[in-house]
Amino acid sequence: ILSSGPGARASHHAAAALHGFPGYPEATPELTIPRGRGRRPPHLRVHTSTDLERSTLLIVDGSPVTDVGRTVLDLARTVSDRRLARTIENARRAGSTDWERLISTLMRHARRGRPGIRRLRRVIAANAHREEITDSDFELLVISLLLEAGLPEPTLHHRVMDGHRFVAEVALAYPDLRIAIVLGG
């Protein structure tokens, strides 16, 4: 990164790995440099950007890295909607982002032809109404499968009560139908 010049930072899959997002193992170093500046070392995957200054530079394990919002936007360029939703949910679980920060990132970087904008916008629109955070990728997968099957979105982390006495919490539920979905091994 340092050999690529000022402003260069780990990005895309490399930044996801540095941020600790599951499913992004360390691989070929990938970075973004400001367009028109910096060098492109041959052993690195290098992206150029005209709006890199719109994101915050973070230092993770001693390396300059794109912030979580920009990393998610960069990933939206190459990963599926489902994988992007899982990545966002993992970042929400870790407390490193929330819907408001992701929407802010989207607004700062949105422009015609910007790769990843459509996918990120689509994933935010489909999920931002949900303030609860899933406990696992499995919960997120089951929710998406239920929705794909044409069922309404279940309530997440439904508390079962007997009058005023707490009985249990179930992963997913359709309270009006008295259907509880318990997930686990």
Lowest mean pLDDT: which of 22-26, 89-93, 119-123? 22-26
- What is the rounded (10 degree) CA torsion for 70, 135, 59, 72? -10
Average pLDDT over the chain, rounded to an integer: 90
Q: What is the pLDDT of residue 137?
A: 87
- The pairing of strands 45-49 and 57-60 is unpaired
Q: What is the mean pLDDT of residues 71-83?
A: 95
pLDDT band at 152 (very low <50, low <70, confident <90, very high): very high
Q: What is the pLDDT of residue 38?
A: 62
pLDDT band at 65 (very low <50, low <70, confident <90, very high): very high
Check: CB of residue 110 under 8 Å from CB of residue 104: no
Task: List all residues 6 or more positions away from 175 whose beta carbon is below 8 Å from its beta carbon.
Answer: 155, 158
What is the DSSP annotation of 110-166? Answer: --TT-TTHHHHHHHHHHHTT--S--SSHHHHHHHHHHHHTTPPPPEEEEEEEETTEE
Q: What is the pLDDT of residue 151?
A: 95
Q: What is the mean pLDDT of residues 108-135?
A: 91
Q: What is the pLDDT of residue 100?
A: 95
Residue 89 has pLDDT above 60, yes or no: yes
Give the sign of the dihedral formed by CA 134, CA 86, CA 26, CA 104.
Answer: negative
3-state helix, strand, coil in the chain (%, to 5): 40, 20, 40
Q: What is the pLDDT of residue 185?
A: 57
pTM: 0.84
Instruction: Return the higher-pLDDT residue of 34 and 124.
Output: 124
